[in-house]
Amino acid sequence: MSRRRSLGPKKKLALLLSAATVAGGGAFVMATTSNASPPAATTKSAANSTVCQGLATALGNNERFIAGQRANPDAQSEARIANREAVIAQIKVQQEASGCTVGESAQGSQPAQPEQPAPSQPAAGGQEGQAGQDGQAGQDGQAGGGAAAGEPVCNGSTVTLSGEAGAPAASSNQFPAGTRLKVTNLDNNKSTTVEVTSVSGSCVLLNDAAFEQVREPGKFLIRRAVIEKVG
């Protein structure tokens, strides 16, 4: 008849402690793994991105225009404010798409634009009329920085205004300062030729004077536009 060897109390205690240690270590590894979270997406600001700087400046200029209309209202102020709010909505869509802080405003942070010679196209002033367009973002088409003179660029882009004063000019995220662009509004066949003077978040963003030359009354967004690099 065989004898079964039994473990002494000390050996039993040692085995129990070893098993508890292994189980506790596994639970710690599982908890650490399950609690790990993916890194948060980085949001850019006007301080570290020229695109975000241009969008923040455009948004700030439009906010300043609205504040001026509310401080000194007239018969058309309500319609102007509604249109500029639509432009701000468009800019916020572009901020989000560009990874910028949505709603960041930098009023008047860009340098003043130099005086430009009058464009060859005659000015076609439009009266700011009834309620404007929505802020739906258009998609920029092909990059245009390397396009030859006279070649259409940024196919499918919408064109809006920056809210900046001064002589007719434009800002762009694809063309350097000094580039001359021709913008044609296909809805009224009006055109203007302007020089790029600063950076923005769009292929082309017209200042107030340039936009007045191609706009339709009461509208602050050109949905059907042809943009050409002319110099």
pTM of the model: 0.49
pLDDT at 210: 94
CA 44 vs CA 25, 48, 96, 198: distances in Å: 41, 7, 10, 19
**Beta carbons of 142 and 157 less than 8 angstroms apart:** no
pLDDT at 173: 86
- Please enumerate in sequence order all residues whose Cβ is within 8 A of that of 10, keeping only pairs 6 or more positions apart, or say none: none
pLDDT at 189: 94
pLDDT at 143: 46
pLDDT at 115: 37
**Beta carbons of 129 and 220 less than 8 angstroms apart:** no
Between CA 15 and CA 195 the distance in angstroms is 83
pLDDT digits (tens, 9 = 90+) for 138-165: 333 344 555 666 788 888 888 888 888 8
**Mean pLDDT (whole number) for 104-114:** 55
Radius of gyration of the chain (CA): 30
pLDDT-derived band of residue 226, with 50, 70 and 90 as boundaries?
very high
| Cross-strand pairs, 221 | 160
pLDDT at 145: 54
How many other C-beta atoms lie within 10 A of the C-beta of residue 82? Answer: 16
Per-residue HEC secondary structure of the chain comes to CCCCCCCCHHHHHHHHHHHHHHHHHHHHHHHHHHHCCCCCCCCECCCCCHHHHHHHHHHHHHHHHHHHHHHCCCCCHHHHHHHHHHHHHHHHHHHHHCCECCCCCCCCCCCCCCCCCCCCCCCCCCCCCCCCCCCCCCCCCCCCCCCCCCEEECCCCCEEECCCCCCCCEEECCCCCCCEEEEEECCCCEEEEEEEEEECCCCCEECHHHHHCCCCCCCCEECCEEEEECC
pLDDT-derived band of residue 193, with 50, 70 and 90 as boundaries?
very high
Mean pLDDT of the chain: 73
Q: Are strands 190-199 and 170-172 parallel, antiparallel or unpaired?
A: parallel
pLDDT digits (tens, 9 = 90+) for 9-49: 666 556 665 655 555 555 544 555 555 555 666 888 878 88
Is the pLDDT at 180 greater than 90? The verdict is yes
Is the pLDDT at 112 greater than 60? The verdict is no
pLDDT digits (tens, 9 = 90+) for 64-84: 888 888 998 888 788 778 878
pLDDT-derived band of residue 88, with 50, 70 and 90 as boundaries?
confident
pLDDT at 227: 93
